[in-house]
Amino acid sequence: MKPKVGLIFAAVVLAGCAGAGEHAGHSPYAGQESRGIKALSADEERGLAEGAGLGYAKSAELNGYPGPAHVLDMADRLGLAPEQRKAIEFVMQSHKAEARALGAELVKRERELDALFASRQATAAAIDTKTFEIGLVQAKLRASHLKAHAATTAVLTPEQIERYNRTRGYAQR
């Protein structure tokens, strides 16, 4: 009898190990539990601190509203006049200052939300408050990026916008 019990025990252990192996590491979050802010990668934190686009202005960019950073990078190819360059540099500087400040605020709010959970103090009311604050900052940040594209577009000629879109590889509409 003992050999059967031993075989059954071994089979159960092996089946349990096989099942655990099937599920181990399947979460897309595995390895992220050591992040300082669980909801943000290091690249996202850095991008927010630097005022990077992070896709916030895709609605503008892909609908023919060029972004100031790319326009300045392409200034010669677009044939920017000196006054256009100066105006877009102003848009860029103003926007970057605002985006960096909002990015810092967003990181702060995300850190506070993370701390609620880390300290086991995440109540429904606290979650509502923090996510509302985060959402408001995200909305302001996205608006800043979109308005920078709108302001840049207002400075460009239709021909420059067309050249920009073509150079960036966007399909004709």
Give pLDDT tens digits for 25-63: 578 888 888 788 888 999 999 999 999 989 999 999 999
pLDDT tens column, 155-172 = 999 999 999 999 999 976
Question: Is the separation of the CB atoms in 67 and 151 below 8 Å?
Answer: no
How many CB atoms lie under 10 A from the CB of residue 89? 14
CA distances from 93 to 87, 97, 100, 106 (A): 10, 6, 11, 20
pLDDT tens column, 90-134 = 999 999 999 999 999 999 999 999 999 999 999 999 999 999 999
- Give the helix, strand, coil percentages of the chain, each rounded to 5: 70, 0, 30
Reported as a pLDDT band with limits 50, 70 and 90, residue 73 is very high
Global pTM? 0.80
Reported as a pLDDT band with limits 50, 70 and 90, residue 140 is very high
Whole-number Å distance between alpha carbons of 138 and 32: 22
Q: Look up residue 79 and give its DSSP letter.
A: T
